[in-house]
Structure 1
Amino acid sequence: MSVDAQDRPAPAADKPRRSGLKRWSRSPFTIGVVAILVTALVGYVMFQKDMLLTNLLPGDEVKINFAQDYRLREYVTPVKVGGVKVGKVSDVERLDNGTAMVTVKLDGGTAEKIGSEPGAAIRPTILLGGNYYLELIPGGQHDDREFSDVIPPERTSVPVELDQVASVLQPDAITGARSASRQLDATLAGDGRSAIQDIARTAPAALTPSAEVLRGVSGTRPDDLTKVVAGLDSTSRTLSAKDGELDSIVANLASTSRVVGARSQDTSDLLADLPETLDTADAGLRRLDTTLGKLRDAAGPTEPIVENLDPLIDHATPVLARALPVVRDLRGVLADTRPIVDDLVPASQTGTAVLDDLKGPVLDRLNGPVRDTVMGPYTGQGTYAGTGDGETPFYEELGYMVTNVDRASKLTDANGANVGFQPGFGAGSVEGVPINIESLWKNLAKLENPDGPGTGGN
């Protein structure tokens, strides 16, 4: 009985505690607290949805160093490639040098598609600005490797607001823009509206050819248009690399246009004569083609000669260098010989007459009997009959005679020369003529001057 009495009060003591806890858990205060906590948690999740989704979802991170932080918002500003959303801005850090280091979270595989040297730009969603997005511009080599470097500031750009453009305009330009707006309004209010309506009516028929043109512009491969745009971008950077150079080109182009306008009549005449000129040029080119064909055929055999000209020129170069002073000195010599050359003109004319006289019988006699006698065998005649063997040529016998006479005239001893004469030829040496020429000249001289030399007789 005592054990039962001790065990019974315990359930009575526990029952009030359980009922109090149960009442507390079902009380309005508890329910309100739980509701507040759940609402706060849901609200936090809702407000931080972009941050949580950006951090929790898998993807690639790329850092971009912009020249300035241009209204980029973390976990709000979208990131696009070619107009397609591929991520969000996850962090914006302002550096000590005034630039901004922006981290973007991209969808998986996007970093492999932007190339080895991508660019980035902050662009407005609409023309008037307000909302912006970050655009990644593919560039460099596309080798399917994930880009993990930092895009430098020189490959980034920030938008130019309309108010910034207006702030640099001169007052006259702003006034002109206002006037242009008013005139545009007047144009639209008048005949311009009808013109625009006509364009709208005829535009559908032009869309199909335009589509064909656009397909042609896009190229035959997916990256043709991209390469064209990249080439235009490189051209633009080259044109704007030096300040003032493009302005100078435009100014020179304006001067050229003015000159062309002033000479429009000459240009018209040139165009009028152009067909005839082209026909003449066509005929000349056909003839030139024939000449070039012959030249090509002739150039084949001369190719080894041309190849050997290179060492010849190498050896001739120092020779020409040494000959240069001699050539300089020859200028004076040529100047001095000019009078001699002038005097040679009448002498050459006289020599021409002499040579003309030598033609005919004189040359025939030299080429005939004289040559036959000199080249034929010597046989003595008259007083000299029996001399000569009939085989030795006459010129050899003549040579032997001159040599023997020369030797005889040189015989000397201690008392002087053994032979005191000097052989030679005169007018009386010619044999076989009816008159001695030497005696004839002497008789003629006596007839001309019978009183002797120096008397001056008639």
Structure 2
Amino acid sequence: MAAITRHLRVTPLRLGALFIVVSLLAGLALFNKNRILVTLRSGDSFDIEFTADNRLAPYRSQVKVAFVPVGVVTGVRETDNGGARVTVKVDGDIRGKLGTEPSAVIRPTTLLGGNYFVDLVPGGRPGRFTGTIPVERTKLPVELDKIVAALQPSALDGLRKTTANLDETLGNGGSEAIDQLVAHAPDTLDPAAAVAGAALGSKPDTDLPRLVTNLQATARELIDKQGQLDAIVTDLNTTTSVLSRRTTDISTAVSRLPSTLDATDAGLARLKTTLEKLRDTAGPAQPVVRKLDTVLTTADPVLAEARPVVNQLRGVLVDARPLVQDLVPAGRQATTVLDDLSGPVLDRLNGPVKQFVLAPYHGTGPYAAASSDKPLYQELAYMATTLARTSVLSDRNGALIALQPGVGVGSVGGLPISLEQLLVGLSNQTGVALQKGAQPR
């Protein structure tokens, strides 16, 4: 125990050495504070290729998205082609927000340069970025001295004169105008705040992010389809030129638009009624339409067989046209005949004649013994039937009764001469004349 106490005895030399070691360790830790903090910080690392490092410092240069710090540069090394391969470490959720094809730009922290940082710009389609950002999607900053070096002496002289004129303007009342602008700015900012609040939409948590997402999708489509925007602008120029030449027609069309809209409104109102009736009819018509489909399916072979008949029917119709044309005067004559029959003739048939035929026959005078309870038309039918039966009775001498009813010129009675004898006489005279005319001269 005494030996251990002697061994651990603190001497001024040991205390000084311990102080020096602790100071060196503390200084080393302070010197590498950023490296230690970045190493202990959680996140993802990936590489970016630039054409130059542009004085990026490992563990000091920041990485930003939309100028918001999200990480730190952890390494810078030169590539074989003279460029720079920069390794960055970002927060764990940043890679999922960069898209599939992000780009990177080295930007200065001030207008005059100084420190630089890496600005990550989301791009491509939504998704998590993996891999390395190639040099094709990276840019270097344009520094002020390079811009000044590219300006011509006349441009630099004009810039100096512009600065002098600005100083003169501020001295001749410009400062007071700026003061008034600043004094009236608060009154303008209140309406501007209301406009900015309205831009957030009725649902600030979703409307504005959705709008930004849609703008991003629109920009992505424009990037993917390069050249189409130029064609659209060219076509738009052509369209505006045509519209400028047809301003009179457009003005006329606009002036007639109210009446057109009124007519369209009336037409749509009528169409609404039609559609309502169609809706009411469509329900009951569905079973009929289903059966009609079956009928049409069955009618196909019938129509196929009827096609030759229809083809031949055209000739029949052509041949029947003269007949139809002849029927027109015949119909007119028949109309005259029917007109003559109407009136007293039909009245007599419907009156006394009809009553006589349908009433039982009772003879009078010499025919008083001839009477029957049956209607006259039945008695006439019985008589015709009995005569027909009697006419079939025959023996070797011939038929018992020969009966052949018919109508001829001799059936017309009550004339002063016989029409039958007159026709026979005319026919004989015509035959004699023909025989004389046929003799040779």
Q: TM-score, normalised by structure 1?
A: 0.57
* 8 A contact 2:390–2:400 mirrored in 1: no
Tell me what 2:4 maps to: none
Q: How does 1:339-418 map to 2 (within 5 A)?
A: 339-340=318-319, 343=322, 346-347=325-326, 349-354=328-333, 356-357=335-336, 359-362=338-341, 377=358, 389-390=374-375, 397=381
Corresponding position of 1:217: 199
- In structure 1, distance between residues paired with 2:140 and 2:386: 119
Report percent identity of matched pairs: 18
Please name the residue that 2:117 is paired with. 131
The answer to whether the Cα contact below 8 Å between 1:78 and 1:89 also exists between their aligned partners in 2 is yes
Amino acid at match of 2:408: A
CA-to-partner distance for each residue in 1:397-442, whole Å, 9 max, x for gaps?
49x9589959978x999x9x979989563335868x63499x5366
Letter in 2 for 1:268: S
Q: Which letter does structure 2 place at the counterpart of 1:427?
A: G
* C-alpha distance in 2 between matches for 1:350 and 1:88: 112
The equivalent residue for 1:260 is: 243
Q: Secondary structure at the match of 1:426?
A: coil
Is the CA contact 1:124–1:133 (under 8 Å) kept in the aligned structure 2?
yes
Letter in 2 for 1:296: E
Distance 2:385 2:132 in 1: 109
SS class of match (1:389): strand
CA contact (8 A) 1:66 1:157 kept: no
The alpha carbon displacement at 1:40 in A equals 5.0
Change (3 A) 1:389 1:318: closer
Which among 254, 261, 285 is matched to residue 305 of structure 1?
Answer: 285
Given residue 120 of structure 2, which amino acid in structure 1 is its aligned partner?
A: L
Where does structure 2 lack aligned partners over 5 or more consecutive residues?
1-7, 143-150, 437-441
Q: Give the partner amino acid of 2:433.
A: T
Q: Tell me how far 1:53 sits from its aligned partner.
A: 0.9
1:332-365 deviation digits (Å, cap 9, x = unpaired) = 754x466447646734642552454255453568
Structure 2 CA distance for partners of 1:349 and 1:136, relative to 1, 3 Å: same
**Equivalences, count:** 388
Contact 2:72/2:89 (CA < 8 Å) preserved in 1? Answer: yes
Change beyond 3 A, Cα 1:420–1:280: same
Matches within 5 A, 1:314-329: 316-317=296-297, 319-320=299-300, 323=303
Which residue of structure 1 lines up, in the alignment, with residue 407 of structure 2?
A: 426
Who is 2:30 aligned against?
Answer: 46
**C-alpha contact (below 8 Å) 2:101/2:129 kept by paired residues:** no
Deviation (angstroms), 1:151: 4.0
1:52 offset after TM fit, Å? 0.8
After superposition, the C-alpha distances for 1:350-382 in whole angstroms (9 at most, x for unaligned) are 255245425545356897665787897486799
Question: Residues 101 and 419 (structure 1 numbering): CA distance in 2 closer, same or farther, change over 3 Å?
Answer: farther
1:104 is the counterpart of 2:89: yes
Unaligned runs of 5+ in 1: 1-17, 142-148, 164-173
Q: Could you tell me how far 1:51 is from its partner in structure 2?
A: 2.0
In the alignment, the residues of structure 1 paired with residue 390 and residue 211 of structure 2 have an alpha-carbon distance, to the nearest angstrom, of: 103
> Is contact 1:65–1:151 with CA below 8 Å preserved after alignment?
no
1:452 aligned partner: 430
Partners of 2:345 and 2:278 in 1: CA distance: 45
Q: Note closer, same or farther for the CA distance 1:406–1:371 as it changes in structure 2 (3 Å cut).
A: farther
Among 218, 221, 237, which residue is 1:238 paired with? Answer: 221
Contact kept, 8 Å, 1:91 with 1:104, in 2: the verdict is: no
TM-score (norm 2): 0.59
